[in-house]
Structure 1
Amino acid sequence: MKKYADRGNDLFELVMYGVAAVCFVYFLIKGNWAKVLEAALIIGVLLLIRVVVKVTQTPMFAALRFCILLFITITMIMANEFGFYSIIPYLDKYEHLFSGVILCFVGLLIYKKANDSGTSSASNSRVAIWLSLFFSIAMAGVWEIYEFTTDHFLGLNSQNGSLVDTMTDIICGTAGAIGTSIYLAFQAKNKKMPLLDEKH
């Protein structure tokens, strides 16, 4: 199953490179430099992820890799490159919800990396789930601190000058993290933590 998941992710990433390349050429011809830069950033982010994985020698779970690729597709390709922010209402909130899922998996990956034995006893599973949950919620707050800082010092408008927008983003990220943690808890209850057991 993991083999097919990895192949699926490889194909998904290859398609993303293709779409980004086509966008780069198309918007270059059109003279839309902002879109050209966005296409270049998509390729750059995909390459950067591969570099980080290789340098840290920390392969990603197949589920985490898929979520990250899908997140990049939604945020960078659909939302920014194709202007879906004006088509899908509250797309930004869905992105924050999805980021909670991704960051929960990242927290699980951090736990797996720290726990060299790779075992998944009941107690270890509980620790992994709580760490993943708190990590994801904390990162939702850190992201809003980043947005506040760039808005304040660079004159951007990421938070729309609204506490409601900021808190809604954090709530969405937290909801995604809680949902993922519940899923992981059910896995642990059934004595099955495939993400912790997965070998690379």
Structure 2
Amino acid sequence: MQMEKRKDKWNDLFELAMYATAAVCFVYFWVKGIPAKMFQAVLIVAVLLIIRFVVKITKTTMFAALRFSVLLFIFITMFLANEFGFYKVIPYLDKIEHLFSGLILCFVGLMIYMKASKGEKAAVPNAKVAVWFCLFFSIAMAGVWEIYEYTTDSLFGLHSQNGSLVDTMTDIICGTISAILTSIYLAFKAKQRKMPLIDVQS
């Protein structure tokens, strides 16, 4: 328990550093006169605040490793890739991000399933249902992310999708592949009765 709290303090510092970096980026790109990059900095702060808001209103406890993974994913995708242009520096960074996202979203799906199950007094968490929910949730969110990228590209002149259907579909495929692999892992853990966050039922 103490170790988990210590890790969460590091996550708090990481998140605080991201707020500070976003503020510096906003001022820098304001001086440079680049509104698209300014919007990206504002969007980063908005995403961090929305996550905090959702966690608070749903009274969900996000374990330290998952929170770190989410923060790291936001840092890589929104800071390094979009704000600092690392797509041109690291080959296939976009595909790596989408592979990583499939894994994270499966565990987010698992948390959502457990939260929903606890809300129903008559419901008993079922490992098989949980695995299928994680899989479908992760794949669906891969599609939602591409909708977000398309929308921001169209409205604010960003280039997240490179104007390419091939890029969009490859991203969804990468997210789907990692979601399938993570679901297989969860199914294997369920058979061993060691599935994370869930009391395995037959």
TM-score bin (small chain): 0.7 to 0.9
Which whole-Å CA distance do the structure 2 matches of 1:39 and 1:130 have between them?
Answer: 35
TM-score where L is the length of structure 1: 0.79
Please say if residues 142 and 176 of structure 2, whose CA atoms lie closer than 8 Å, have aligned partners that are also in contact: yes
CA distance in 1, matches of 2:72, 2:195: 23
CA distance in 1, matches of 2:33, 2:145: 32
Tell me, in whole angstroms, the C-alpha distance in 2 between the residues paired with 1:153 and 1:29.
Answer: 22
Whole-Å Cα distance in 1 between the matches of residues 44 and 156 of structure 2? 23
Residues 97-116 of structure 1: matches in 2 within 5 Å?
Answer: 97-116=99-118
Q: What is the aligned residue count?
A: 193
* TM-score under structure 2 length normalisation: 0.78
Write out per-residue CA displacement over residues 36-92 of structure 1, whole angstroms, 9 at most, x where no aligned residue.
222222122211211121122223233332222111101111011111111112222
Residue of structure 2 aligned with 1:74, choices 68, 73, 76: 76
Distance 1:125 1:30 in 2: 52
Say whether the 8 Å CA contact 1:13–1:69 is kept in structure 2: yes
For 1:68, give the aligned amino acid: V
Cα-Cα RMSD: 3.0
Give the secondary structure class of the aligned counterpart of 2:96: helix
Query: Is the CA contact (8 Å cut-off) linking 2:36 and 2:158 kept in structure 1?
Result: no
Give unpaired runs (5+ residues) of structure 1.
Answer: none
State how far apart, in whole Å, the 1-side matches of 2:31 and 2:150 are.
35
The alpha carbon displacement at 1:116 in A equals 0.7
Determine the structure 2 residue equivalent to 1:45: 47
1:35 to partner: Cα distance? 2.2
Shift of 1:154: 9.6
> Identity over aligned residues, as a percent?
71
1:181 to 175, 180, 183: 183
Taking structure 1 as reference, are residues 168 and 182 closer, same or farther at Cα in structure 2, changes over 3 Å only?
Answer: same
Q: 1:2 to 1:189 in 2, by over 3 A?
A: farther
Q: 1:160 to 1:21 in 2, by over 3 A?
A: closer
Letter in 2 for 1:176: S
In 2, the alpha carbon distance for the partners of 1:16 and 1:149 equals 24
